Chain A
Amino acid sequence: MTLPLTIENLTAHYGPTKVLEDLSLSVGAGELVSLLGASGCGKTTTLRLVAGFLEPTAGTILLGGKDLTKLPAYKRDIGLVFQNYALFPHLSVLENVAFGLKQRGISPAERQKRALAMLERVGLSPLADRLPGALSGGQKQRVALARALVIEPPLLMFDEPLSNLDAKLRIDMRVEIRQLQRANGTTSVYVTHDQEEAFSISDRVAIMNAGRIMQFDTPEVLYQRPANAFVARFVGFENLIPMHVLARQGEQVIAEAAGGVKLHFNQDRFGQIPDDFVLAARADGLAATANLAAEGLPAMLGLRTYLGRAYQYQCETAAGLLVANGSLSDPLRSGDGARLVPLPEQCCILAPEHS
């Protein structure tokens, strides 16, 4: 069983502070959606509201059309995987997994059978009789996963499930989580602050900040076409350069950056360009060259670091400190003057930030 989750106009307060503002989100049946953001952005609050551990000030939560908003947590039938695993320390691995089935009045023989089958799927059946204290972090998280999956919930939610594991295990576990989720086709909400994790595992990602969703889209779109400066910065566009349009000639637009540098943009590539905009580029998208005749931002090169695939330069420009990459074949020296050339296919044009 799998159901779509719809969150409408959710607002929440901790005392007088508003932690969530008018948040709406829909997760399709069988879809895995991540809530991604720094701590305090409201992602965990959203999860706790859906789970029923917090009460919203306003808004509704619908699971397959059924209104959960007023339902106590234990009647919501949502599988939860916690950051600290939250295993019952006094129960064996098997009893932990069977706990939810017991609450549903399933006979002891049947729940033992189902719990063992689920442990088999996560590869832990040999440890069924152990206490959680005797397990490693990865094993604990598998038990937590099995415990949440065995009740066959219409919705699964993960609260930073991998943040206590080491880097290697984290990658293995996220593949495993994704495979199990795909196989069961369970609608899932995944909360994390780790961008790579969110992008690799999700169908869609909601990037959150200060209690709002900044952009909600597929990882590909988020990565290549951030909708605003916040998301751009979040997905690694280090250089945000404010520009002002001076002239338009058909699809050609001439714009000026601080220091009076003029650059040409093509609306065929970027779409309609507003009079004031921000040019966003990763270090990859700004090529540092010694050719002072190239059309680019004049820069004074600072520290050079070696990245393996390129050199990276800290650059002083009239638009502030920028980061640009340069080719390995042609290393530049710190202290040299250079031009930073924006590569159109790797740049974005965004509306200016309100300050």
Chain B
Amino acid sequence: MLKRHAGWVIAAPATLAVIIFLVLPVAATIGTTFGDPDGLFAAYADFFNSGFRRNVLWRTLEISLITTAISLFVGFLTAYVVAKSPGRLKSLLIIAAVFPLLTGVVVRSFAWLIMLGKNGILNNFLVAIGVTNEPLSMLYTQGAVIAAMVYLFVPLTILTLVGVLENIPEDVVQASASLGATPAATFRQVILPLAVPGLIVGAVLVFTGSFTAYATPQLVGGERQMVMGTLMYQRAMVSFDWVGASTIAAIMVVLTITVVLAMSRMARRLNPMAT
């Protein structure tokens, strides 16, 4: 008896913990959005009827998409160089990417506060070289949020893609050269297509991460660059509109899960190594 169910028994505490403390509470949160007496989707109608909230949603999507595109591009080029570097230099470059990753979001976002502020290094520099006479207000702009978010996610894309690039067998690259492909042709026709599944994984991580971010937009974007995360906090803790906050939460969950499922299906279809 015990033997037959041993697997279940051993896995039970962790499984139950996830179900009781994560699945059920989140389901309850989503559930409350459908409890409006005015109709099943009244909470969502309410959300999309507000121009301000629609704006927040579009802004968040825009910031996330731009952040994803830049992070992937920068991360891919850098990962390519890192993967090709000789042993010692490679570990050094990887450590240099791991360090910011292990340093918290708050610290890394705060760094941008110092840099972009009126007394910040960037303004001092611009004034010093005479580009501008008085400090520009760079904080609380969309550009600031995107810069800080890219900063947040580039180490992640570098590390993900280094792994992917290193998994491309060396002899496949050599086979390409032996068949007469120039380094550029090998990059375009062999390396890039084989890295697509990794790029998709990176895209999912960056997009979902930036769509649901709180600390960075709060510090660098403030009230003026309100995004879904900061809006949700404001609805819940300032306006005490829990149904409104739950609606935002539900939108985030649905979007995250949709993106993850769609992208992982795409990655599976595009992943030739899987078969």
Contact = CB atoms under 8 A, between A and B. Distances in A.
Contacts of B274: 133
Contact of B180 (A83, A88, A90, A100): A100
A74 to B, nearest CB: 4
Interface footprint category on A: 20 to 34
Contacts of A89: 172, 194, 272-273
Contacts of A102: 189
Interface of B: 169, 171-172, 174-183, 185-186, 189-190, 193-194, 270, 272-275
A166 to B, nearest CB: 21
A82 B171 contact: yes
A53 B178 CA distance: 9
Nearest to A89: B272
A168 interface: no
Contacts of A103: 179-182, 185
A100 B171 contact: no
Nearest to A103: B180
Contacts of B176: 74, 88, 99
Given A74-B181, A74-B182, A133-B275, A88 B174 contact: no
B180 A82 contact: no
A86 B180 CA distance: 15
A355 to B, nearest CB: 38
B246 to A, nearest CB: 43
Contacts of B172: 86-89
A90 B193 contact: yes
A84 B181 contact: no
14 contacts: A73-B178, A77-B180, A82-B174, A90-B190, A90-B193, A99-B176, A99-B179, A99-B181, A100-B179, A104-B180, A131-B272, A131-B275, A134-B275, A151-B180
Nearest to A78: B178
Given A82-B171, A88-B172, A89-B194, A74 B177 contact: yes
Contacts of B183: 74
Contact of B169 (A53, A80, A86): A86
